[in-house]
Structure 1
């Protein structure tokens, strides 16, 4: 018996040592990938940043931005702050560029429900509940209270507008009933959007939308098909891509996605500095972002270090998901996206019960 306890003791020590060694390895690996902050890069970022905790003032946007045909915001699903950023971007673009066409990672049926909601003389939240039911099947991490609150606020914004200025939602994803997988989602979304943009009625219109992180990249990461943004660029459209990164935040991870999930379905594992998701160069943003809630950084100014660096565009995923690493033909971050939102302290999306 004593010998058995001794063996169990050795096994326990071994397991504890193995876990500790693995944790040390992960910390070292993540720190190495993140890299240390660089003074010149931090200086640039501090000169090209705007506080967007309240609203977006457009101070960082230039003629290249304003001449774009398509504006895309890319998120890691499940962070509540991204729903707020989506509302801010849409209302800013509507007020300043007349952008009234909102494109979304949903199908035309769900978009039809949103359009009915926006145009009813009284606010019918039951229609939003129906859209959330659709989202649970396609983007479950968006299907929460913040989504409802965003569209409720946009209803209030939209109601007093003249009919010619009212926001219209376009669902460009494949239909839920479409079981064909002969072409990729990004190809489907590109084809559906081009069908709208080439319609004479929308020839001179601009479009904006919130999508998953991958879809807004303007270059395909190694081992991946071409994202939506790259396909649109290749079709002759001018595209501006903005990505959203989080720090010290929580993400909604609903049960049933095949990943370990706590009872409250909220995890803090997908921040840009690890431990699951790690962004190369996030240390520069951290250093340039003292005492902030949500900031916007411009990456494509003429003197930008991101014109000769891949920082912020190299993303590693430990355990879950596939790395997003530009291939060897890509020389700069701004080839993939041009702006970054950085938010701190975002809660997780709150699921509707």
Structure 2
């Protein structure tokens, strides 16, 4: 009996240890397979088709070919949290402004947020920036960072050196993020309408809802859905300017999208088409930095990326986009602390971590070691993936992105695509600092 008890006790004691050891072994094998080894042919190709980005002066990007500049929409896709992509973003925006006359920054913000950002770019009052950024800061969103805030200031400073026709403005096409900003935008828009228009029953009803101190989302969505058909008829009145008509109708349409039936990236596509048509931008060049998922132009298992909608058979942008994917190693990421164990968050809004790098321990890009082998520390290096003879045209290296967080891996439908079909250019960021959180005012 004693022997049985001893064996049982030993089994109970050793089982967790054995399971833990087996777990570490399984993780180690998974990590090795997910990252993969090095490839001499791929590294030889990368050496010939790379450019280390230098941010001094006016950056030149000799790596881009003529086909790149012929595209209409340029995406920079990154996993939010690192500082260096913000610098690359501004450098690319400045370069495209000079090279192809690009004046529209296609931003991951909604239409009302873009209006306030453009007011800042126009008159320079920082309160307009804070109107947008404090929503992100209060909600501990990664967009609410000092680096992005300062980048808007750099865009305004750049604009001051440019003729009016060449100055950059923000084009917001995202699903509504901040109802309070939308409320303020509607209040200002309605206040500027002629008195005879303001007395219209449709506008009176809308004003009653948006004048409340405590905004009720469901009520606002309901009245938007109710007013849209009537408003679209009455808005044709000559007493309304075309700008006011569009601002009101477009905002009501976006409020109606909040009913939950229309997916976010689908709203982005609908909004882009609407805004491009309204502002007569059919031939205009557009550029912006977005979350990596949104910039993927091929079909994935969960969700439909914005860039994939742009490749649809009826899309006016089919074949006119190019995506640059950003990968990071040896870098710090500013991650929201909400939901993390207390011993990690320590009561802070964000924590800086290296766990989100693309060579592990939580995120794995197959073939990332080849990029490391041909780059220097503390650098950003661009690579062209689809040049003549590229081995990336026939392999899935750099296209496989596995994440240990639930529902975060990017899994493609059908056969694994080649990275040249996903990102025609990739950028490896090494040793980046984390973003700096913006203070909550």
Q: TM-score, normalised by structure 1?
A: 0.91
After TM superposition, list the pairs within 5 Å mapping 1:176-195 onto structure 2.
176=177, 177=179, 178=255, 179-195=258-274
Higher helix proportion, which one?
A: 2
Instruction: Determine the structure 1 residue equivalent to 2:321.
Output: 239
By how many angstroms is 1:30 displaced?
1.1
SS of equivalent residue, structure 1 residue 141: coil
Question: Is the counterpart of residue 262 in structure 1 residue 345 in structure 2?
Answer: yes
SS of equivalent residue, structure 1 residue 201: coil
SS of equivalent residue, structure 1 residue 146: helix
Question: Is the counterpart of residue 219 in structure 1 residue 305 in structure 2?
Answer: no
Distance across 2 between alignment mates of 1:192 and 1:15:
53
Distance across 2 between alignment mates of 1:281 and 1:202:
39
Question: Is the counterpart of residue 343 in structure 1 residue 429 in structure 2?
Answer: yes
Question: Is the counterpart of residue 278 in structure 1 residue 361 in structure 2?
Answer: no
Compare 339-348 and 171-180 and name the one that shifted more.
Answer: 171-180
After TM superposition, list the pairs within 5 Å mapping 1:100-119 onto structure 2.
100-119=103-122
Name stretches of at least 5 consecutive residues in structure 1 with no aligned partner: none
- Conservation of the 8 A alpha-carbon contact between 1:119 and 1:159: no
Query: Which one of the candidate residues 373, 379, 382 is aligned to 1:287?
Result: 373
Compare 44-53 and 130-139 and name the one that shifted more.
Answer: 130-139
SS of equivalent residue, structure 1 residue 211: strand
C-alpha deviations, 1:162-195, integer Å up to 9, x for none?
A: 1111111011011134432212111100111112
SS of equivalent residue, structure 1 residue 150: helix
Instruction: Determine the structure 2 residue equivalent to 1:156.
Output: 157
CA RMSD of aligned residues (A): 2.4
SS of equivalent residue, structure 2 residue 311: helix
Instruction: Determine the structure 1 residue equivalent to 2:167.
Output: 166
By how many angstroms is 1:130 displaced?
2.1
SS of equivalent residue, structure 1 residue 54: coil
Distance across 1 between alignment mates of 2:157 and 2:44:
40
Cα distance, 1:328–1:192 mapped onto 2, change above 3 Å: same
Instruction: Determine the structure 2 residue equivalent to 1:143.
Output: 144
Instruction: Determine the structure 2 residue equivalent to 1:204.
Output: 283
Distance across 2 between alignment mates of 1:62 and 1:148:
31
Distance across 2 between alignment mates of 1:155 and 1:138:
26
By how many angstroms is 1:23 displaced?
2.3
C-alpha deviations, 1:99-134, integer Å up to 9, x for none?
A: 1101111111111111011111xx433322222123
Distance across 1 between alignment mates of 2:279 and 2:119:
24
Instruction: Determine the structure 1 residue equivalent to 2:247.
Output: none
Distance across 2 between alignment mates of 1:149 and 1:6:
65
SS of equivalent residue, structure 1 residue 170: strand
- Conservation of the 8 A alpha-carbon contact between 1:218 and 1:227: yes
Point out the structure with max Rg over C-alpha.
2
Distance across 1 between alignment mates of 2:139 and 2:106:
15
Distance across 2 between alignment mates of 1:134 and 1:231:
28
Cα distance, 1:276–1:219 mapped onto 2, change above 3 Å: same
Query: Which one of the candidate residues 330, 344, 365 is aligned to 1:248?
Result: 330
Name stretches of at least 5 consecutive residues in structure 2 with no aligned partner: 180-254
- Conservation of the 8 A alpha-carbon contact between 2:332 and 2:432: yes
- Conservation of the 8 A alpha-carbon contact between 2:137 and 2:438: no
C-alpha deviations, 1:242-283, integer Å up to 9, x for none?
A: 111110111111222x34453351111110001111011111
C-alpha deviations, 1:174-225, integer Å up to 9, x for none?
A: 113443221211110011111233346322210001111110001022x223
Distance across 1 between alignment mates of 2:289 and 2:371:
22
Distance across 2 between alignment mates of 1:207 and 1:10:
64
By how many angstroms is 1:138 displaced?
7.8
Instruction: Determine the structure 2 residue equivalent to 1:24.
Output: 25
Cα distance, 1:200–1:173 mapped onto 2, change above 3 Å: closer
Question: Is the counterpart of residue 307 in structure 1 residue 393 in structure 2?
Answer: yes
Distance across 1 between alignment mates of 2:91 and 2:14:
53
SS of equivalent residue, structure 1 residue 210: strand
